[in-house]
């Protein structure tokens, strides 16, 4: 097969409309330097409307509105209404904070198709601890609101060492709330989750138990709820076909207009990502260096270069390769064929041995972001 890929349309547009968020999740995938993108740096309504039109003209069919907390944008209804008018299927990915009855009604009127509500846990204590907010009760009410507006009830819970043993109660909670879909997504270790990895990585035994519990529930609720258990690649030793291939299906636009092949790719060094303020989406998708660098298999080296499984996983995740080896073109270290697979094995072994990290958990908030990004700098006030 040719190493030069045929480029189809960006079927999925992920509009990260803001990094502002009332929650402070320890596993958040937003960038560590999120405080550098303040409200004043966010794309205007007119910019977003243009991005929606350009991506749709290129063939995008699904549009996810995400963040941060997308409900922090007062123009969200305008963006959703335009997306619907253009023919997108629209998704709102929300913590539920800000989804008042009035807001739900206006989003319904704008034509929103689908809401995905995130929970941190099935207990108030851990939900509120992990997000550093008191939001558990509120989320329960939002679940009922979603049902009352006739949206499919889709729940997402990021799974990690601190909540994985509650998986039975998490599924029971989703069932009680009338969820039709429940995604139990094992944390991916990027951004804030990578900082906190040694607190969050489950043991192998925890994963085995959680899978068995999920399988038992799957049979029990087969007539009413679909359960997705997204397996952790650290334990599986199976590189994932990240974003279904670099620049293959997904186009992410961040709050300041940076266009990315995946929401964490901005961390990769030596790669200039284009901005929708400077270029139209067609140029970005087809001609920019940022989208072309890791497309297909031509960039591969090391174990990947001669591997028969190239098409299966396209070399795994570039961000993970960079975070764990310092080289974004390396074989993803979760792959047993990687020379650096020992890094991942050591992390899993430390989790299995119950090693307690010395560094405390870091909560995702602008203050931590500024301290981590600009150590020694004074606080930004805007
Ligand atoms: S993971 Fe938590 S902190 Fe991050 S955007 Fe989502 S709700 Fe906000
Ligand atoms: S060597 Fe590369 S292409 Fe082969 S399985 Fe591992 S990550 Fe995938």
Q: Which of 80, 88, 94 is nearest to 62 (CA)?
A: 88
Q: Per residue in 196-238, pLDDT tens?
A: 999 999 999 999 999 999 999 999 999 999 999 988 899 988 8
Predicted pLDDT of residue 3: 53
DSSP 328: T
Q: What are phi and psi of 146, to 5 degrees?
A: -60, -45
Architecture of domain 10-375: Alpha-Beta Barrel (3.20)
Q: Per residue in 99-119, pLDDT tens?
A: 999 999 999 999 999 999 999
Mean pLDDT for all residues in the chain: 93
Predicted pLDDT of residue 358: 87
Residue 132 has pLDDT above 50, yes or no: yes
What does the radius of gyration of the chain's CA atoms come to, in whole angstroms?
20
Residue 381 has pLDDT above 90, yes or no: no
Q: Spell out which residues line ligand 2, taking CB within 6 angstroms.
A: 239, 303-304, 307, 309-310, 313, 315-316, 331-332, 335, 337
Predicted pLDDT of residue 379: 44
Concatenated DSSP letters of 194-216: HHTHHHHPPPHHHHHHHHHHHHH
Average pLDDT of the residues in 334-356: 95
Residue pointed to by tokens 């989750």: 193
Residue 342 has pLDDT above 50, yes or no: yes
* Ligand 1 lined by 21 (C-beta under 6 Å): yes
Q: Which of 25, 71, 127 is nearest to 368 (CA)?
A: 25
Confidence of residue 2 (pLDDT cuts 50, 70, 90): very low
Residue 58 has pLDDT above 80, yes or no: yes
Using the mean position of ligand 2's atoms as its centre, give its distance from the Cα of residue 269 in Å.
22
C-alpha 106/C-alpha 76 separation (Å) is 10
Ligand 2: residue whose CA is nearest its atom 1:
304
Number of C-beta neighbours around residue 110 at 10 A: 18
Number of C-beta neighbours around residue 210 at 10 A: 24
Residue 167 sits at the vertex; the CA angle it makes with 165 and 172, to the nearest 5 degrees, is 140
Q: Exposed, middle or buried, 36 (CB in 10 Å: 0-12/13-18/19+)?
A: middle
Q: What are phi and psi of 237, to 5 degrees?
A: 65, 30
Q: Where are the domains of the chain?
A: 10-375
C-alpha 107/C-alpha 78 separation (Å) is 9
Helices (H), the chain: 45-58, 76-86, 101-110, 124-131, 136-148, 167-176, 191-195, 197-200, 204-220, 233-236, 281-287, 289-292, 302-305, 310-313, 318-325, 341-352, 366-373
Q: Exposed, middle or buried, 61 (CB in 10 Å: 0-12/13-18/19+)?
A: middle
* Ligand 1 lined by 69 (C-beta under 6 Å): yes
């Amino acid at each position: 097969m040719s190493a030069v890929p045929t480029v189809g349309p960006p079927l999925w547009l992920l509009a990260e409309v803001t990094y502002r968020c009332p929650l402070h999740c320890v596993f958040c995938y937003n960038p560590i330097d999120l405080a550098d993108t303040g409200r004043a740096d966010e794309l205007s309504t007119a910019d977003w409307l243009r991005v929606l039109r350009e991506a749709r003209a290129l063939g995008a069919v699904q549009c996810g509105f995400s963040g941060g907390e997308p409900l922090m944008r007062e123009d969200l209804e305008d963006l959703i209404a335009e997306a619907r008018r253009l023919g997108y299927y629209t998704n709102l990915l929300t913590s539920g904070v800000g989804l008042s009855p009035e807001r739900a009604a206006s989003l319904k009127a704008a034509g929103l198709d689908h809401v995905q509500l995130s929970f941190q846990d099935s207990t108030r204590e851990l939900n509120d601890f992990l997000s550093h907010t008191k939001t558990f009760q509120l989320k329960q009410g939002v679940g009922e609101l979603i049902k009352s507006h006739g949206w499919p009830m889709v729940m997402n819970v990021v799974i990690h060492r601190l909540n994985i043993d509650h998986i039975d109660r998490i599924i029971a909670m989703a069932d009680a709330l009338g969820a039709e879909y429940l995604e139990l997504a094992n944390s991916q270790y990027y951004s804030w989750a990578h900082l906190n990895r040694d607190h969050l990585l489950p043991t192998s035994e925890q994963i085995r138990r959680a899978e068995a519990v999920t399988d038992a529930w799957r049979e029990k609720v087969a007539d009413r709820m679909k359960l997705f258990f997204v397996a952790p690649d650290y334990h599986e030793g199976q590189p994932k076909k990240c974003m279904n291939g670099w620049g293959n299906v997904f186009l992410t636009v961040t709050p300041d207009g940076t266009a990315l092949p995946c929401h964490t790719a901005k961390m990769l060094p030596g790669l200039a990502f284009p901005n929708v303020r400077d270029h139209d989406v067609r140029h970005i998708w087809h001609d920019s260096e940022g989208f072309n660098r890791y497309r297909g298999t031509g960039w591969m080296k090391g174990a990947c270069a001669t591997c028969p499984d190239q098409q299966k996983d396209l070399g795994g995740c570039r961000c993970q390769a960079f975070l764990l080896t310092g080289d974004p073109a390396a074989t993803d270290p979760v792959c047993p064929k990687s020379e650096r697979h020992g890094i991942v094995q050591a992390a899993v072994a430390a989790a299995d041995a119950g090693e307690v990290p010395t560094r405390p958990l870091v909560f995702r908030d602008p203050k931590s972001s500024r301290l981590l990004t600009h150590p020694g700098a004074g606080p930004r006030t805007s």
